[in-house]
Structure 1
Amino acid sequence: MTELDRYSRQMLFSPIGEEGQKKLASKKVLIVGMGALGTVLASHLVRAGVGHVTFADRDYVEKSNLQRQILFDENDVAASLPKAIAAEKKLKAINSDIKIEGIVADVTIDNMDDLLNGVDLVLDGTDNFQTRFLINDACFKKGIPFVYGGAVSSRGMSAIFVPGETPCLRCFIKEGETGGQTCDMVGVISPVVDIVASFQSVEALKYLVSADKARRNSLLSFDVWNYHIYELKYKKQDPSCPTCSLHQYPALKRSEQDSITSLCGRETVQIHLRKEFDLKEWADKLQNIGTVKETPFLLRVELKDHMRMVLFSDGRTLIQGTEDVSRAKAVYSKYIGM
């Protein structure tokens, strides 16, 4: 199959054309999160022929993901595959002509610099504002554009933020003012995810082919169930913004939340206090405290009282069955050690 065969319909679209297709082939993008938004974003950009698509995700595939996370299937659930691994496998079967790289990792202050190395554009596939503000601050510090997207219930939002040209995410959404609703609390329908990620992908393609005049200069908000659409046009940067005006980048300053985080609405607390786990070694250590399932990527231990521990080789542990940080720390301390 030649390049013309694969991308012929896209190249017939005059704003991209042959020249734009060559630009796409030379670009590298990072998708943070390989859940509902991330899977759609990755599918669009891989099929479009972006030369290097890399993505990072900390989680593994569960049955409840299949309703909206389009790259996964029941075999991935049965194998407890990390989302980054399952997605990489599926995407490489879609387009073998480009570089596709899935990374099993929590995106944090510690690895953000490495993840951004050589990246032309970052796309938001996350489900929480703590990580979004980290992406926003890191991108504006390095001068890398960032395409924001969010979906919950039947509502969606998207925008592209370009350092030096537009305000940043903090100019529109302040920490502590995000509403607190998550897909695990109020649900989400699959169509809104596809629409948000498609809007993100379109803005990404415009930026990557240098169609700057065609970029949307607004934060788009909509409700597909009740059919409401609203655009908040870009104005000047907020002069009090700690990121794009004051260059303080608060999300890049270390806090206690970096190591212990309650994943809202999921009855899960993530604890990241170690650099790595030898999964085989820990499978032996924990075999007497509950039912142990080991895969090449993680170790899952079913505990009493409907609790579960999931250990990853990068040193992370998920304590599932509670959102109480104190209780999770007690379980972790008992079986792993603080």
Structure 2
Amino acid sequence: MQLYNKLSAEERRELIRAAGKERLTISFYQYHQIGNPQLFRDHLFLHWHPMDVLGRIYVAHEGINAQLSVPGDRFDEFKLFLDNISFLEGVRLNIAREQDNESFLKLKVKVRNKIVADGLNDQTFDVTNKGIHVDATKFNELIEDPNTVLVDMRNHYESEIGHFKNAWTPDVDTFRDSLDYIEEKLKDHKEDKKLVMYCTGGIRCEKASAYYKHKGFKDVYQLEGGIIEYHRQVTEQGLDNKFKGKNFVFDHRLAEKISDEVIANCHQCGTPFDLHTNCANEACHLLFIQCDSCKDKMENCCSDECKEIIQLPIEEQKKLRAGKYNSNKIFKKGRSEKLVFKK
């Protein structure tokens, strides 16, 4: 009985290309009390592996958070499987507007303490007492209201390449960092302003809205389905698009274009550009914005130092990234002092 992925990313890529099938990139989440996350995790893997589902899925006592890819011709089978799980029946599936057959190359289903790391003690408040969900039409109305404070609940590297008109984009590295920081900044407006939040697919706002209501905010709203669902609604309904730039996504695509505006710049030369990459030096793996010209010049590296390292034999490179503190460098997100034009 296979319970874990056994193929490398390259092996999977070859299989996907040989199959020649169109795949759908999908995300969904659901907060629900799961008694045995490990058992549920194994159940998902055993059914999804034969369906050729790929992706990154987190399961915890509080629910499930999934970003995945499924063959288009098996979508109905996949949807039926979800509908046969009581708490996932009819769950909203955010289907990417821009598809990429190689958005995910492995199936990873992991048990975590939380489906989103938030640092909160959920026992102190009711996580089901969430804010008001609004669709794209209502959201557009709210963000034009002078009594609204619109907050981007994502991290700095996400909002840098795209965000909504009139949004406050906190300069934070993690969702955990943002919660208390935002409350402190808005503490004088808990009763006189409408707190309106958005994120990629809705999962962060779901928890944050309940948390802020617990902290005394009287009028709390969240964008239903996040930026992904907003993009679908404005496209299909011909609504005014209030989002500028690209939506950062957590798969190999790294971004979806929501509007034609480019609001970011290359971190190395400053030219307008809005596509992230990871430094080719695996001991660094820094996430940063790099234009095509700098990519060629720097060989997909963030610095001359990293450019020199990738010329070394592979075994020498492995030695350089050995050890806890060296490997921890890979978690940096565009904060390196080597980047002259970082935000």
TM-score by length of 1: 0.28
